[in-house]
Structure 1
Amino acid sequence: MGKLIAYARVSTRQQDADRQVSDLQAAGVRRDDIYVDSGVSGGRASRPQFDRAVAALEPGDTLVITTLDRLGRSTQNMLAFAEALRGRDAGLRVLNLGGGDVDTATPMGSMVFTVMAALAQMELEIKRERITDSVAKRRAAGKDLGGRRQTFTDSQIRNALRLIDGGEPATQVARDLGMSRATLYRRIRELPQATTI
């Protein structure tokens, strides 16, 4: 019986992998054999801890992950990876795949893995399609798309300062510019001294 090596991943630094680690330990993986990438997208080819986990696999060992999306995004890549593990005489075990625990070392597990990998990629493509459609609709309706706020020139900030000096409420001037009052005041303080009124 080989060793269990596990991999966990979270896409942003604000998330934590505690639940994945707990599930992996409950499946029998020792804490020292769990590799965790934080703030790393599943779409990236290089994931440092993933690479270390794979390098740690010896013949007869099994790589354990909690869900299929921890492994990657593309069906083709996931299937090629599972095949590469088989070629190294190592297995792949997914704890929550199709409602159960799937081990690709068995014929049934391999088939379920293949089907679920294809479904995971289809789900990702549908999600991308929805986002693209939503952005197009918001753009057509003239709505805010979010993202980085526009930057304002010193000239625009000076004009805002003139309006405030002329009696306009600072809150209204800031709102018209699309920024908070605190941001407007900060930008006014940052103006070069020679140009402030």
Structure 2
Amino acid sequence: MLVGYMRVSKVDGSQTTDLQRDALLAVGTDPESLYEDKASGKKEDRPQLAACLKALRHGDTLVVWKLDRLGRDLRHLVNVVHDLTERGIGLKVLTGQGAAIDTTTASGKLVFGIFAALAEFERELISERTIAGLAAARARGRNGGRPYKMTPAKLRLAMASMGRPETKVSDLCTELGITRQTLYRHVSPTGELRPEGEGLLARSYRPRSV
């Protein structure tokens, strides 16, 4: 089954999803399986996206008009598609720069593989900048402040950084503002998610109760 997701950024009525809806219906998306958010693509907490991802089943395909309707953050996009792939769910982009993406086909998987490689490269750059920034801060006698709880964004950075030979756990914890115990409750030394980390990411996609 084809399940559609639509999004506009403004909530003042100046933007509509009519064009997206028409395009999704034209390719055979089930009219009863259309989800719509009015929120910035940079926000991961989008109730209808969470509901859409939860409703998808093995063998379904998530259809979006443009890739930026799903999100504007490359790492978030890669994580979403990775989760869908693990569940046996495809992604199809109808137009725009991501129109070649259709993870139900071999060529589409190859294109998204390139996106994933770029996201990994971006994570490595962030990790390198984090290490360099910590070294510069220590040289000036500055240390981290009060520890805060783990968040989805911090967790993804921890996953990218852990397991890299040059990453020092103490430095990473200082940069993220968490304790070593908090880090290891969510991520293994090799960067793999632990149950508490999986739960945190799962909750980040869960729709809020009204």
**TM-score bin (small chain):** 0.5 to 0.7
Distance in 1 (CA, whole Å) between partners of 2:22 and 2:32 is 13
Q: What do the CA deviations read for 1:25-58 (whole angstroms, capped 9, x no partner)?
A: 00101221110112x0010111111111111101
Contact 1:96 1:102 in 2 (8 A): no
Q: What 5-or-longer segments of structure 1 have no aligned partner?
A: 123-197
Distance in 2 (CA, whole Å) between partners of 1:53 and 1:25 is 16
Offset at 1:98?
A: 4.0
2:2 corresponding residue in structure 1: 4
Superposition map of 1:1-197 within 5 A: 3-13=1-11, 14-38=14-38, 40-98=39-97, 100=99, 102-115=101-114
Letter in 1 for 2:3: I
TM-score by length of 1: 0.54
Contact 2:59 2:88 in 1 (8 A): yes
User: What secondary structure, in the 3-state scheme, does the structure 2 residue paired with 1:96 have?
Assistant: coil
Larger Rg over CA atoms: 1
1:190 corresponding residue in structure 2: none
Distance in 2 (CA, whole Å) between partners of 1:87 and 1:97 is 25
Distance in 1 (CA, whole Å) between partners of 2:62 and 2:36 is 13
Query: How many residue pairs align between the two structures?
Result: 117
**Greater RCO structure (CA 8 Å; 6+ sep):** 2
Contact 1:42 1:69 in 2 (8 A): yes
Distance in 1 (CA, whole Å) between partners of 2:98 and 2:36 is 23
Q: What 5-or-longer segments of structure 2 have no aligned partner?
A: 123-210
Contact 2:66 2:98 in 1 (8 A): no
User: What secondary structure, in the 3-state scheme, does the structure 2 residue paired with 1:36 have?
Assistant: strand
Letter in 2 for 1:79: V
Offset at 1:19?
A: 0.3
TM-score by length of 2: 0.51
Q: What do the CA deviations read for 1:99-157 (whole angstroms, capped 9, x no partner)?
A: 845311223102223446859xx9xxxxxxxxxxxxxxxxxxxxxxxxxxxxxxxxxxx
Contact 1:93 1:103 in 2 (8 A): yes
Q: Give the structure with the higher percent strand.
A: 1
For the structure 1 residues 27 and 114, does the alpha-carbon distance in structure 2 shift closer, same or farther, using more than 3 Å as the test? same
Aligned-residue CA RMSD (Å): 2.2
User: What secondary structure, in the 3-state scheme, does the structure 1 residue paired with 2:32 have?
Assistant: helix
